[in-house]
Amino acid sequence: MHDIEILAIIWISVFAASVMATKTRLTPVLWYLFFGALLTNIGLLPTELPIFIVDLAELGIIIIMFSLGFEEETHIFLKGIKRSWGIAFFGALAPFLIAYTLAYSFWADPKIALMCGLAMMATAVSLTMVSLKTEGLSRSPAATGIMTSAVLDDIASLALVAALVPIATGDATLSAVGLLTIVAKTIAFFVVVTLLGALVFPTSTGWAKNIPFIGNFSLQRLLIMGKSENVVLMMLLIAVLVGLLAHYFGFHPAVGAYMAGLIISQEYFDHAPDNLDESERGIFEQTRMIVDSAAYSWLGPVFFVALGSKLVFDSELFISVLPQSLMLFAGIFVGQILSASLAARFTGGFEWPESWMIGFGMLGRAELAFVVMEIAYVQNQVLTTESFYTLMIACFLLNISVPLTIRWWKTKFGKPINNGDSKSSEILKDEH
């Protein structure tokens, strides 16, 4: 079968998954994985995808991670840290410990347990926000708390993935020297990216303008070259280049792409030059729409379909891992809700209805969880087939739980939020 034929089949399945997601109100990611597994098991996709599709899938997850970072408004994120740090910390620590403990009890392998813990640590903020938007709660204080804490979880998870994956894969050891080397590389990478955000990307002002070369260089100048026609190309190039920088430091390119998106601010697009006509001045929104289209409509989904194709159905294997999958799901379900809800109430000052909503909203596991699984199972073979299937089934059940629990809790949660008279609503207004 020609590689283009395989791509055509994948894109047909992506369209079908989008239709099914709309009808079922479930995240499209679940349907991408489902169709990837279905097409492989009925023979329409090969069990070993060609290198063209594999590379396209990797580019897809890079663009997805860049888009997730690009969508975050840094100043809002920073304002919400004070209130959401406890939700992020305890809401990530509990799932990590539960997944690590259960995985170690299942397979007695610390490397597998470590990767399971990392995969279960980060919340799928996009899934939750879609579910909240469907129920008319996307602008509630609870939604803000979920978004901020989920982004904090994502950043922490990326840092831990960058530091711990080399240890789990055997590229580094647990010796003092090996651990210090990994920590130093991780710190160095984030310092370099931070410097890029502080010195290179913005329009140089103040003391930065006196630095040779850098003082005369800025992302804004690059954005206006050739009017607005090169903006998307420049954004994707930045994602790939910072992704390559992460790769040179020994991390997954998706780590760099997310950080690249996070440090790019809307203010770089705010001052349109005089040579642009009115139709070209909404550069930021146009760019975000195009990047989101690539990430979620036609390029990014290839990653999830390709990952789903790894689920070659084996009835004996499925039955054998079902008890572990259900135990992992139940443990994360209870641990995530309790840890996030209690943290929201006692460290964030949310009312109880909002606190429970935050707990339900942090159940999802999507992009980062699947990135960890792809690194651990596909690229480095740290996860066994049994542990991979266990994680996939648990993630599937957790993701289904998000819209169901949010819809169920809405009847008790919606009134104070819609009226805007809750304590947390007042706190949010004071913070802004």
Could you list the pLDDT tens digit for every one of the 432 residues in the chain? 899 999 999 999 999 999 998 888 776 877 888 899 999 999 999 989 999 999 999 898 889 888 877 876 666 666 667 778 899 899 999 999 999 999 999 999 999 999 999 999 878 766 676 667 667 776 677 877 887 787 677 777 767 776 777 777 766 555 566 567 767 777 888 788 877 776 666 554 555 556 655 555 566 666 655 556 778 888 899 899 998 998 888 777 877 887 788 778 776 666 555 545 544 557 778 888 889 899 889 998 998 898 888 888 888 999 999 999 999 999 999 999 999 999 999 998 888 888 999 999 899 887 678 888 888 888 888 899 999 999 999 998 898 888 788 888 887 655 444 444 343 333 333 433
Q: What is the pLDDT of residue 424?
A: 38
- Give which of 246, 105, 238 is closest to 188, Cα–Cα: 246
375: exposed, middle or buried (C-beta count within 10 Å: 0-12, 13-18, 19+)?
Answer: buried
Nearest-10 Cα torsion for 84, 86, 87, 90 = 160
| DSSP conformation letters of 182-205 | HHHHHHHHHHHHHHIIIIISSPP-
CB atoms within 10 A of CB 280: 15
Quick one: pLDDT at residue 427? 34
Other C-beta atoms within 10 Å of 247: how many?
A: 14
Q: What integer pLDDT is reported at residue 179 of this predicted model?
A: 62
At residue 363's C-alpha, the angle toward residues 253 and 343, to 5°, is: 100
- Of the candidate CATH numbers 3.40.50.300, 2.40.50.140, 1.20.1530.20, 1.10.3720.10, the domain formed by 3-431 belongs to 1.20.1530.20
Report the distance separating Cα 119 and Cα 127, nearest Å: 16
Q: Where are the domains of the chain?
A: 3-431
CA–CA–CA angle 184, 186, 78 (5° rounding): 125
Cβ neighbours of residue 131 under 8 Å, at least 6 residues apart?
A: 25, 361, 402, 403, 406, 407
Q: Measure the CA–CA gap between 384 and 403, rounded to whole angstroms.
A: 30
Residue 212, H or E segment: none
Query: Which pLDDT does position 412 carry in this prediction?
Result: 66
For the record, the structure tokens of 77 come out as 């994120």
